[in-house]
Copies of this chain bind each other. A is one copy, B any other.
């Protein structure tokens, strides 16, 4: 099936790990692509300010270009791949490309989470598309699932493990009883965490991805600033262990679900029942559980980072641009945040969930009754309770009492915990962890 049309010319902007892999697929692996797709895709230029990695990848130096303007002026360039990252220079690159009438493919979740709607609107104004399969979960085609494969569904909930660094750390803590610090060091030694891991372990990166996915899933505009985000850096090994005793595994979850008339979006460490598929996701892998009204539970699993997996997603988007499906999808889906009103994002106090509460209390009669009384006073019903031996030789540390609640309003739980912490018998800050096991399809 020879295709006589001109190939789709690609300007690749940013040649780091992912950019190098994209260029490799478009050049070294071009026969693989040609065997699968009729329209041809031709790498026209690699725009960067430093070509060290491009040279390491053995890419043709004739492609190197330091001037984005030159690339945008090339009529053979039909699409610009932005892999610079960040929300400043990258934003200008994408805006310039769209204004020049080029389609855009990007992996930049931070940019889309902050400015997606404006960029989509700009693309529409110029009759081109923005594609971003690579922005969430690397090589896992989750954006396509939300926009295409699951299009017949009202999406009711998303639970995502979308940061491989955090999942690696939590897997180490769970399976090898490591402390957070030791597990982080192991992730850094394995090349899975940055020297400054803040963006990952704080939950910020997961929140970016959640904002991108939720906007598409619910067809509403999401405000990133309104997503409550907790990271994994304060997690204590004893809570990981008590959770396991109770039949739960701790995961950093990006959560989006319909509740009442609104949508709850949050990122936080949470307990998942050990028989839920998400509980099995280990090491640096990502997985996203999506609950649709027709499909019920579907889950998507794979490598959420790394050069080749992420490049797989970028090149899938290039293939869609080349075949024209990217443009049609972008024009004809009603899901894009720039076409929709803002979501009614629930304040965190209005979230309803089950909770794990660990109290460090003095080991004396009547303490449990006092705690239970506080919880009851805030309309929180206890599902289970167990008291452990002290974890510490120091009696001043108190005895750990672990309580799980039935479904409760998070605002009530916070108020109750503040009250509990003020009790004189309490020896340390009370720990509270979300327990995600209420979705009807989950069990």
Whether A329 pairs with B334 at a CB distance below 8 angstroms is no
Which chain A residues in 120-175 approach chain B with CB under 8 Å?
A: 133, 138-141, 144-145, 148-154
Whether A141 pairs with B133 at a CB distance below 8 angstroms is no
Size of the A side of the interface (Cβ < 8 Å), in residues, is 67
Whether B139 pairs with A29 at a CB distance below 8 angstroms is no
A407 interfacial contact with B, CB 8 Å: no
Whether B277 pairs with A301 at a CB distance below 8 angstroms is yes
Whether B150 pairs with A298 at a CB distance below 8 angstroms is no
A138 to B294 alpha-carbon distance, docked (Å): 11
A152 to B81 alpha-carbon distance, docked (Å): 15
A219 to B32 alpha-carbon distance, docked (Å): 11
A205 to B331 alpha-carbon distance, docked (Å): 38
**Residue in B36, B145, B149, B277 whose beta carbon sits within 8 Å of that of A335 in the complex:** B36
Whether B141 pairs with A1 at a CB distance below 8 angstroms is no
- Among residues of B, the one whose C-beta sits closest to the C-beta of A280 is B280
Whether B297 pairs with A302 at a CB distance below 8 angstroms is yes
Which chain A residues in 274-322 approach chain B with CB under 8 Å?
A: 275, 277, 280-282, 292-303, 308-309, 311-316, 319-320, 322
Whether B295 pairs with A152 at a CB distance below 8 angstroms is no
Whether A154 pairs with B328 at a CB distance below 8 angstroms is no
- In the complex, chain B residues whose CB is within 8 Å of the CB of A294: 21, 25, 29, 139, 308-309, 311-312, 315
A39 interfacial contact with B, CB 8 Å: yes
- Among residues of B, the one whose C-beta sits closest to the C-beta of A34 is B334
Whether B151 pairs with A144 at a CB distance below 8 angstroms is no
- In the complex, chain B residues whose CB is within 8 Å of the CB of A298: 139-141, 300-303
- In the complex, chain B residues whose CB is within 8 Å of the CB of A141: 144-145, 148-150, 298
Whether B33 pairs with A152 at a CB distance below 8 angstroms is yes
- In the complex, chain B residues whose CB is within 8 Å of the CB of A145: 141, 144, 149
- In the complex, chain B residues whose CB is within 8 Å of the CB of A144: 141, 144-145, 148-149
A128 to B78 alpha-carbon distance, docked (Å): 27
- In the complex, chain B residues whose CB is within 8 Å of the CB of A311: 152, 294
Which chain A residues in 323-347 approach chain B with CB under 8 Å?
A: 323-325, 328-329, 331-335, 339
Which chain A residues in 4-47 approach chain B with CB under 8 Å?
A: 21, 25, 29, 32-39
Whether B316 pairs with A150 at a CB distance below 8 angstroms is yes
Whether A292 pairs with B320 at a CB distance below 8 angstroms is no
How many Å from the CB of A225 to the closest CB on chain B? 25
Whether B299 pairs with A302 at a CB distance below 8 angstroms is yes
Whether A312 pairs with B36 at a CB distance below 8 angstroms is no
- In the complex, chain B residues whose CB is within 8 Å of the CB of A300: 298-301
How many Å from the CB of A199 to the closest CB on chain B? 23
Whether A329 pairs with B325 at a CB distance below 8 angstroms is yes
**Residue in B21, B153, B282, B313 whose beta carbon sits within 8 Å of that of A312 in the complex:** B153
A275 to B152 alpha-carbon distance, docked (Å): 33
Whether A32 pairs with B154 at a CB distance below 8 angstroms is yes
Interface centre among A21, A138, A302, A334 (most CB of B within 10 A): A302
Whether B301 pairs with A296 at a CB distance below 8 angstroms is no
- In the complex, chain B residues whose CB is within 8 Å of the CB of A140: 295, 298
Task: Give 6 CB contacts A-B under 8 Å.
Answer: A35-B154, A152-B319, A294-B315, A295-B309, A297-B303, A300-B300
- Return the 10 tightest CB-CB contacts between A and B, nearest first: A141-B149, A152-B315, A298-B302, A139-B295, A294-B312, A299-B301, A325-B325, A323-B332, A294-B308, A295-B312
Contacts beyond the supplied A148-B148, A151-B319: 15 A-B pairs with Cβ under 8 Å: A3-B332, A35-B334, A38-B331, A133-B149, A139-B292, A139-B294, A144-B144, A149-B313, A296-B309, A297-B301, A298-B301, A299-B299, A300-B301, A323-B328, A325-B325
